[in-house]
Amino acid sequence: MKHKMSKFSALLIIILLFNSCINKYVTRQNLFLDQFFSNKQIAYALNEYNSNNIIIYDEDKTLIKSNKVYQSDSISIKVQNDLPANTEFYRVHEFDLNKDLSYVALTTSDRQKGILFFMKKKAGSNKWFLVSFSKKYIR
């Protein structure tokens, strides 16, 4: 009986630690996304393809689990999981978030162009800033 209790206690501790790590990552990701999409440089870079109503299609729920709208000046950025009716939108191609570096790659809906963003977290704070971005033709 004592052996079963210690296994149960160990399993419970592992589950709690795992849950804590997941919650920290989700909180860090939400903080990053809020700063990423409210960054004026990023909004203006995305605005060149879509006008003031930018749509980002996140088919695999890489960035978000449910639809969300971000605002930067007069530019609205909607990140959604369902296929947009609009023919001009961005697709999430790749997303990587580390402790202090991140990489976001988007493609246009026709998959002809890509836009890559690299961001870094300022040491000693939770502020993310844009290091560089580039636009490339894919084909």
Question: DSSP letter string over 3-32?
Answer: HHHHHHHHHHHHHHHHHHHHHHHHHHHHHH
The pLDDT of residue 15 is 59
Is it the case that residue 26 has pLDDT exceeding 70? no
Q: Report the amino acid identity of residue 98.
A: N
Q: How many CB atoms lie within 10 A of CB 30?
A: 13
Give the confidence band of 21 by pLDDT, cuts at 50, 70, 90. Answer: very low
The pLDDT of residue 73 is 80
Cα angle vertex 34, ends 54, 126, to 5°?
A: 150
Domain limits, the chain: 2-137
pLDDT tens-digit profile of 64-90?
A: 999 999 988 888 999 999 999 888 999
Is it the case that residue 52 has pLDDT exceeding 60? yes
